[in-house]
Amino acid sequence: MGVGLNILIVGCFVIGLAMAEPQVPCYFIFGDSLVDNGNNNGMQSLAKANYMPYGIDFSGGPTGRFSNGKTTVDVIAELLGFEGNIPPHATTSGQQILQGLNYASAAAGIRPETGRQLGGRIDFTGQVNNHMSTVEKISSMLGDKGSAANLLGKCIYSIIIGSNDYLNNYFMPAFYSTGSRYTPEEYAGDLIQRYAEQLRGQEQVPNCLFFMGDSLTDNGNNNNLITLAKANYLPNGIDFSGGPSGRFSNGRITPDFLAEFLGFDKSPPPFSTANGPQILKGVNYASGASGILDETAIIVGDRISLNRQLFNHGLTVSKIALLIGNATLAREHLKTCLYFVNMGSNDYLLNYLQPQVSLSSTFYTPQQFGEKLINQYSQQLRKLYNYGARKVVVFGLGMLGCTPGMLARSPNVNGSSCKYSNITKVVEPFNNRLKPLVDTLNNNLQEAQNEYTFWDNYHPSEVFTRAAVARAYEAASPNDAYPCDIRRLAQQ
């Protein structure tokens, strides 16, 4: 028999007499600072209240409650007949959890990035995950899942969440882009959809992010290589916190925005400097001037081709197995990650379209070269699958004829006509074969969920990158992402 979910939206408080025995066996609380009773105390966060004058009227003084005394859920627990307050998840263990826990965290929201500027906090998805861990512990204590379900079905659950998604997100344009990306109606719809998914217990945020690509994605892997393809000097990074980092942009790049939209505090570190437990959250392998083909961009010096990036990922997989315990656990971990592969532009810009240094255009027609790239790409994506990747985003190539370098080579072509130029048409065979490749991989590889996203830029500004990534993350039209956008891929 299924267990129904009864949800009460509280609009007022009815004061009644507390019974001698609790009216329910347990009470679980989720929310933000309105009901947090100490879960943020041990975090590096500005959102904590374990000091005076908080708690000035509370027995025992400051506890982490954002109040002079009791909070609403303390009063509810009293009215339900509990002898004491429901304890915080952060400090509670043993038999005590059978009467309930408070998972609330100040600055938390429905969206994972909400409250990020305040430091540590546990978003609603994280609180739900903590409750799932509690359920496992209760099952162990009671002997089986059936007994746990019987107990938990009799409990009351309070959820007070959503204020920070406005106060510490939508209304803070200096830190978040949601105010410019959504109308109020669209934002409310987004929150309600996420809220519904969280109430059903669906995970929204992947455990880790891995990036492979070229200069559009490189965040420092080329810094110490002997190469012309590096960007660890001004004016690169002029608008980036900390200055030039190796990103080929004035500010943030694709991985930075994708990490933000997916709720990560920061984007993964470059492989060249990543070490220790931080690799469990992901790594960026991208290298400026790299290509699908090993020989691409040989004229610029050293670079890390996609084959070498895959080799480096294999090293990371081995390290993760050591950190987690064994290869099986590592593969289970990697299944939950998102992988982004943005590759192919240089195979044209620094190979096929450079007849003075490459013979590719002599040996291959555009159709043949596009097929050659796709065949190689297919093998590389299958190798990534063999390493454990199950959710992969591949980016299509933009209108390369519209890049400044290509426009300089075509004096009769301008910014409005470049999309129809011969250079742009040379790339079409690759893009035309990319969607069918995604379908083939999804159909032939068990559990594979590859996605194609069209990418129409080349070394853009931070502002342009944010707008482009926003559409890839949450597609505005079916042409932006196929068969689904990044947000929905993360939820699968």
H or E element that contains 347:
helix 345-347
Hey, which residues does 339 pair with through a beta bridge?
Answer: 210, 392
Q: Which of 85, 46, 88 is CA-nearest to residue 69?
A: 85
Cα separations (Å) of 259 from 162, 211, 234, 246, 460? 21, 11, 24, 18, 18
Catalytic residue among 214, 215, 459, 485: 459
SS3 call for 400: helix
The two structure tokens encoding residue 341: 């592969």
Catalytic residue among 32, 33, 89, 485: 33
Give the residue carrying structure tokens 């004035």: 250
Residue 158 designated active-site: no
Give the residue carrying structure tokens 């289970």: 332
8: alpha, beta or left? (left if phi > 0; alpha if psi -120 to 50):
beta
SS3 call for 193: helix
H or E element that contains 141:
helix 124-142
CB atoms within 10 A of CB 267: 24
Cα separations (Å) of 34 from 73, 76, 106, 125, 159? 9, 13, 8, 18, 10
Phi/psi at 276 (nearest 5 deg)?
65, -160
CB atoms within 10 A of CB 115: 29
Q: Which of 64, 63, 60, 29 is CA-nearest to residue 47?
A: 64
Residue 321 CA to residue 329 CA, distance in Å, equals 7
Residue 305 designated active-site: no
Residue 40 · residue 64 · CB < 8 Å: yes
Residue 454 CA to residue 8 CA, distance in Å, equals 43
Residue 456 designated active-site: yes
Residue 463 CA to residue 11 CA, distance in Å, equals 42
C-alpha gyration radius of the chain: 26
Catalytic residues: 33, 456, 459
